[in-house]
Amino acid sequence: MSTHADSALAHHFESFEQQRTAASLGMWLFLAQELMFFGGLFTCYLIYRSLNSLDFAIASSELDITLGGINTAVLITSSLTMALGVKAAQLAKKNQLIGYLLATILLACCFLVIKYFEYAAKFEHHTVPGQHFEFHVPPDLIEKFELGPERLVQMEKRAEIFFSVYFAMTGLHGLHVLIGIGIAIWLLFPASRGKFNMDYHAPVENFGLYWHFVDLVWIFLFPLLYLLGRNIHA
Amino acid sequence: MSEHGDVHVSPNSTYFGVFFALCVLTVVTAWVAFYDFGPFNDLVALGIAFTKASLVVLFFMHVKYSGRLVKLIVIASLVWLGIMFGLTIIDYVSREAVTPDPAVVPSPYETFEPKSLSGDGDHGGDAAH
Amino acid sequence: MSAHTDTYDPKVNYLNTDWSIKSWLLTLDHKRIAWLYLVSISGFFVLGGIFALLIRLELLTPQGDLLSPDGYNRVFTQHGVLMIFLFLIPSIPAVLGNFLVPLMCGAIDVAFPRLNLASWYIYTIGGILIVIALITGGVDTGWTFYTPLSSTYANSQVMFVALGVFIAGFSSILTGLNFLVTIHTMRAPGLTWGRLPLFLWGTYATSLINVLGTPVVAITIGLVGAERTLGLGIFDPALGGDPVLFQHLFWFYSHPAVYIMILPAFGVISELISAFSRKRVFGYSFIAASSVGIAVLGFIVWAHHLFTTGMSVYAATVFSALTMLIAVPTAVKMINWTTTMYQGAVKWDTPMLYAVGFLGLFLIGGLTGVMLATLGIDIHVHDTYFVVAHFHYVMVGGAIMGFLGGLHFWWPKMTGRLYPESFSKVSAVLIFVGFNATFFPQFILGYMGMPRRYHAYPEEFQVLNIFSTAGASILGVGYLLPLVYFTWSIVAGKKAPENPWGAMGLEWRIPSPPPTENFVKEPVITDAYDYEHEILKEQIEEIARDEAAAVPSTA
């Protein structure tokens, strides 16, 4: 029991190994519930997409693929810096860990800034669901799919469902990025005191898992929201 | 309980290799999105997304080196997601299939509809469809 | 844990170690957190009970005379929300589970004690929001928050209730997560999966549902909130959205939620029947496996709540068949319990009365569930009192009987005091009789066609409704009695011995009430159902001597 004097091992655990196993298991179960949390939104997407596939494709072609693509790259890079950060924590390399955490925070902020410009453009073009929602099908597509006036009205209305799903999914994802930034900043304090080593690095490792999960969600959001209508003009 | 006791440390080359693969796949998925493969569009896009996701899960999240329990949680949560997707969609894909065409089989309820209400505007919109 | 032996003082236990308010509100001890939950859920139960009483009083007469139609809608909504989200779902897992999971595992605490305390605070915040909605006017959507009623037409208090349910949901996710990790990583050496007490198996299965199901209802209710506040139109038919999708997502959690209520009760009943039959539980592995089986199967049946709401007939048939599958693992349990009692030395102490009451009531609740799973019958009795009676038989006759049985069983361990046996037996019988008198007439009413959720009804239904209201008043007295004698016993009850029932579980091998560190010496894991074990012999003989001495004085 002498190890209990060490503050990094909580009193109700027998060993570091038990504590590490518990922390990692708890985090994975938390991610399982996160997956189901996002899963509800993905189900909405799946159902509405399957009911209105053309409407979704046309509405999707309005999204900015360049910004979406850059954001994908930004998040993937932040995942890399985070993975390297976890390794630095394991090896007790204090300065490296701080550097990688700062890089991750910076990239996450970058993601949110780009997201802000995307959202701002939506407000400008009135493609935000609500009273002022307006959506116009591009003329070449009206011709291509031979949309009658009735279908056109229906489509311009149904686009709102697409944008509702878009804002719900990216909004929830953005909220997770924001929370991630908060946790990363909080981790900087113990990291700067050199608290992490091979025995005790669960907070960094678990935040890493969380961050990779946020990246994973975006890996699916990018093709599902941005890319599905890309070939509609072809 | 010692099934994943020892901590795994990956070499940097693994992380950079995975990162490179993810970047390439992102470019590929954006590029092929401009081509029309007909019914295979989603299959291609989701296939690439799954490949990317697997890389992240296996190497960045260390699942490749984790114990059976963590692998089980990953698989179980995907199965549960599948249950939610699968059993919800069977309702939507089969609604039209087994609802009789009103033109061929007149609904028995129509005869009971009170005459006074028939011209009363639309109540539920297209909620019933 | 050997370090604590030298400093152990048998007079100090987890209750009297520190009585300050701060030591309770900031406690990380799982046993004290169980008490925090017990106090809060009892409060919500009384509140929900008052609303039940109002419902029954209104239905005493065919006319709507006590409540306005709108007032009645608010009352039954509050009854449902309080009872389901704030009482039934946390009842057994958060109170008995928190107290027992570490004890049965032979651990000092749950894996994440801080998270455990945070869960209680989260739950309390959720509860407060729901009560705020109640005070400021109440909600009339029913506990199911169906769109577009909740998203477009209902008053804005619905946002408070939805937020409350959303927040309280995270409390049950975190509690479930905590228990899963505890059972996986904190078991004492020798406590293999094949030796795990059945209560832990029940809790394990429940926690699986908590972790995998609750987030779905959270996001669904979140979307309703987004629809009201931000104008996102996910379930809005005017935009091509589908309200039935809301129902799919809602019931994806809320049907398994029924198993969140009943699975821990199954676990409790398994312990009770074995302990009071003084016999090894029959078919241990079948009971354990069927708990997990129910948790999994519970996720593939949800759409039987949607048979009449416009879903496809084809899908309805599939769900009807899948729903009937649930009867298989449930029947396995029932058969194993009755077989455990067969040729056992059955003792009719209060917990056993609840357990046997549970068997009868849950049998009726379960079998009417199979009736309702049948597509044709369900379309006939959907949204009638038949359904109301069915789910009260399962939730009240099942879950609350299990909760009260478990509370009576472990009360001496939790408080170190015995409650008066005669009062508790009277209240167990009152609850059983009152319950049947309240809800059996509702089966008949429903089958005759009385719809649920109306404040008035045709006169021919009045006799049975009077019967039901009379039963409810007996039930109310039955529920008030434990509140009185439990409180009394804390102050003046007889001191409880270590093992008042002659039961075999690990928690009966430590003092009542337990010390803060749970186990004074390293726990020795024995088979939890080995009633032939020698360590029991002396304790059982002692109980028999006490009883023999007590008989002449009561006769």
Host H or E run for residue C495: strand C494-495
Is the CB of residue C213 less than 8 Å away from at least one CB of chain A?
yes
Chain segment C435-468, per-residue pLDDT in tens: 999 999 999 999 999 999 999 999 999 999 999 9
**A160–C239 CB contact, under 8 Å:** yes
Task: Provide the token pair at A227.
Answer: 């890319």
User: Residues A136, A141, A144, CA angle at the centre, nearest 5°?
Assistant: 150
**Does the pLDDT at position B100 exceed 80?**
no
Closest alpha carbon within chain C to A129: C232
- Residue C240: its chain B contacts at CB < 8 A? 126
Chain segment C481-510, per-residue pLDDT in tens: 999 999 999 999 999 999 999 898 899 999
Host H or E run for residue A39: helix A16-51
What integer best gives the mean pLDDT of chain C? 92
- Residue A29: its chain B contacts at CB < 8 A? 73
**C230–A167 CB contact, under 8 Å:** yes
**Quick one: pLDDT at residue A1?**
37
Chain segment C319-349, per-residue pLDDT in tens: 999 999 999 999 999 999 999 999 998 999 9
In a domain? residue C550: no
Question: Count of residues for chain C?
Answer: 555
**Does the pLDDT at position B116 exceed 70?**
no
- Residue B23: its chain A contacts at CB < 8 A? 73, 76
Chain segment C357-387, per-residue pLDDT in tens: 999 999 999 999 999 999 999 999 999 999 9
**Does the pLDDT at position B124 exceed 80?**
no
Is the CB of residue A36 less than 8 Å away from at least one CB of chain C?
yes
Chain segment C2-52, per-residue pLDDT in tens: 444 456 777 888 988 888 889 999 999 999 999 999 999 999 999 999 999
Residue A222 DSSP code: I
Shortest CA distance to C230 belongs to which of B17, A92, A131, B127? A131
Q: Kindly compute the dihedral angle of the four CA atoms of residues C75, C78, C79, C85, in this order, to the nearest 10 degrees.
A: 170
Q: How confident is the model at residue A4 (pLDDT cuts 50, 70, 90)?
A: very low
Cα C32 to Cα C16: distance, rounded to the nearest angstrom:
11
The partner residue sitting opposite B89, judged by closest CB among A40, A46, A213, is A46
**Quick one: pLDDT at residue B120?**
44
**Does the pLDDT at position B114 exceed 60?**
no
- The domains found in chain A, sorted by start residue, are 37-233 (1.20.120.80)
Q: How confident is the model at residue C201 (pLDDT cuts 50, 70, 90)?
A: very high
**C239–A154 CB contact, under 8 Å:** no
Encoded amino acid at C233, one letter: G
Is the CB of residue B4 less than 8 Å away from at least one CB of chain A?
yes
Q: Which residue has the higher pLDDT, C512 or C269?
A: C269
Given a contact cutoff of 8 angstroms between Cβ atoms, the answer to whether C320 and C369 are in contact is no
Chain segment C250-268, per-residue pLDDT in tens: 999 999 999 999 999 999 9
**Quick one: pLDDT at residue B98?**
62
Q: Specify whether the backbone of C106 is left (phi greater than 0), alpha (psi in -120 to 50) or beta.
A: left
List the 6-45 stretch of B: residues with Cβ below 8 A of A: 7, 9-10, 12, 15-16, 18-19, 22-23, 26, 29-30, 33-36, 41-42, 45
Chain segment A118-157, per-residue pLDDT in tens: 999 999 888 888 888 888 888 888 888 888 888 898 888 8
- Go through C273-309 and write b for each residue having 16 or more CB atoms within 10 A of its CB, e for each that does not: bbbbbbbbbbbbebbbebbbbbbbbbbbbbbbbbbee
**C249–A44 CB contact, under 8 Å:** yes
Interface test mutation site (partner A, options B4, B40, B77, max chain A beta carbons within 10 A): B77
For chain C, the domain total comes to: 1
Kindly report the nearest CA distance between residue B99 and chain A, in angstroms. Answer: 16
The residue assigned the tokens 């990162």 is: B19
| pTM (two decimals) | 0.92
In a domain? residue C6: no
Closest alpha carbon within chain C to B86: C300
Task: Provide the token pair at C47.
Answer: 């509140």
Q: How confident is the model at residue B126 (pLDDT cuts 50, 70, 90)?
A: very low
- The count of other CB atoms within 10 Å of the CB of residue A166 is 26
Predicted ipTM > 0.90:
yes
Host H or E run for residue C417: strand C417-418
Chain segment C206-259, per-residue pLDDT in tens: 999 999 999 999 999 999 999 888 888 889 888 788 999 999 999 999 999 999
Given a contact cutoff of 8 angstroms between Cβ atoms, the answer to whether C392 and C439 are in contact is yes
- Mean pLDDT over residues A174-189, rounded? 97
Residue C150 DSSP code: I
- Residue C313: its chain B contacts at CB < 8 A? 94, 98-99
Closest alpha carbon within chain B to A27: B70
Q: How confident is the model at residue B42 (pLDDT cuts 50, 70, 90)?
A: confident
Tell me the residue range of the domain where C31 lies.
Answer: 23-545
Identify the CATH number of the domain in which residue C239 sits.
1.20.210.10
Sign of CA dihedral A74, A77, A81, A82: positive
Closest alpha carbon within chain C to B74: C212
Residue C302 DSSP code: G
Closest alpha carbon within chain B to C244: B127
- Residue B49: its chain A contacts at CB < 8 A? 219-220, 222-224
**Could you state, in order of their start, the residue ranges of all structural domains in chain B?**
11-65, 67-115
- Residue C151: its chain A contacts at CB < 8 A? none
In a domain? residue C313: yes
